[in-house]
Homo-oligomer: A and B are copies of this chain.
Amino acid sequence: MRAVVPYTDRDPKSRLGGLLDADERRDFARAMLHDVLSAVAEAGLEPEVLSTAPVDVGGDVGSQVRVTVDDRPLTPAVNAALDPVGGTETAAAVVMADLALATPTAVRRLVETPGDVAVAPGRGGGTNALVVRHPDFAVDYHGCSYRDHRRVADDVGASVGVVDSMRLSTDVDEPEDLAEVLLHGEGRAAEWLREAGFELAVPGGRVSVERRV
C-alpha cells in the first residue's frame, strides 16, 4: 500500500518561530519527515512524499521514496493522490509529516484497524493519519478535520475505524510538543533537538523544554 506523506518547505513549523529560526525549522521538519518515512517503510508500506517543491529526503530511506510535486493546497493535492483508490489501488494511506513519535508498530496498528476509512485522530480535532479503502471518500483538512472526515465517511456510506494511539495523535506544532519528542521520540527529530541544545525542564512541576546553547 502507498503511504502518502504531504510535506512543504514553505515556512514549516511557523509556531515554533519563538524557539527556532527559519533554517532550523526547516531542518527539524525534515528530520521529522525522515522519521515518518522510516516508520512507514518499516511497517511495510511504500512511502511517497507529496511535496510542494522537490525535496531531498536523505538517509537510508531517501533512496526508497518517490517524491511527487504538487503545489496545490493540502486538500486538493491529497485528494489527487488518493484518486487511484477504487481503481488501480484497493487502499492508500495518508500520514502527516510531523508525527515525530510514529513507530512501525503504531503505523501497523493503523493499517490493521478495520473500516473503509481508518483514522488516527490528532490532538485538537485534527486527522494525523488515514487509511482510505473507499473510492468515494475525499479528505478536507480545513477546521476540525476529524469530525469532518467522520461526516464525509457517513455521507458516502463508508465505515470508520479509529486507532487509539498517543504516538499517532501527537503532531508537532507548538513548543510544548517538543517535550513529547524529547520524552518519547526514537529517531532523528529527537536527536536533532538534543544536538540543538534542547532538554526537558520541569519548572514548578510542569514539563517544558529549555534550550542550552
Chain A residues close to B by CB (< 8 Å): 103, 105-106, 109, 121, 123-126, 142-144, 146-147, 164-169, 176, 179-180, 183-184, 200, 202, 205-207
Q: A142 contacts B205, CB within 8 Å?
A: yes
Q: Oligomeric state, in number of copies?
A: 2
Q: B166 contacts A125, CB within 8 Å?
A: no
Shortest Cβ distance from A183 into B: residue:
B125
Q: Interface of chain A, helix or strand or loop or mixed?
A: helix
Q: A176 contacts B124, CB within 8 Å?
A: yes
Shortest Cβ distance from A206 into B: residue:
B124
Given contacts A166-B121, A166-B169, contact A144 B184 (CB under 8 A): no
State A124–B123 Cα separation when bound (angstroms).
Answer: 13
Q: B164 contacts A121, CB within 8 Å?
A: no
Of the candidates A105, A123, A176, the one having the most CB atoms from chain B within 10 angstroms of its own CB is A123
Q: Please list the 9 inter-chain residue pairs (A to B) with the smallest Cβ-Cβ separation, ordered nearest first.
A: A125-B207, A166-B169, A143-B202, A124-B207, A144-B207, A166-B166, A144-B202, A164-B165, A164-B167
Q: A200 contacts B125, CB within 8 Å?
A: yes
Q: B179 contacts A125, CB within 8 Å?
A: yes
State A183–B150 Cα separation when bound (angstroms).
Answer: 11
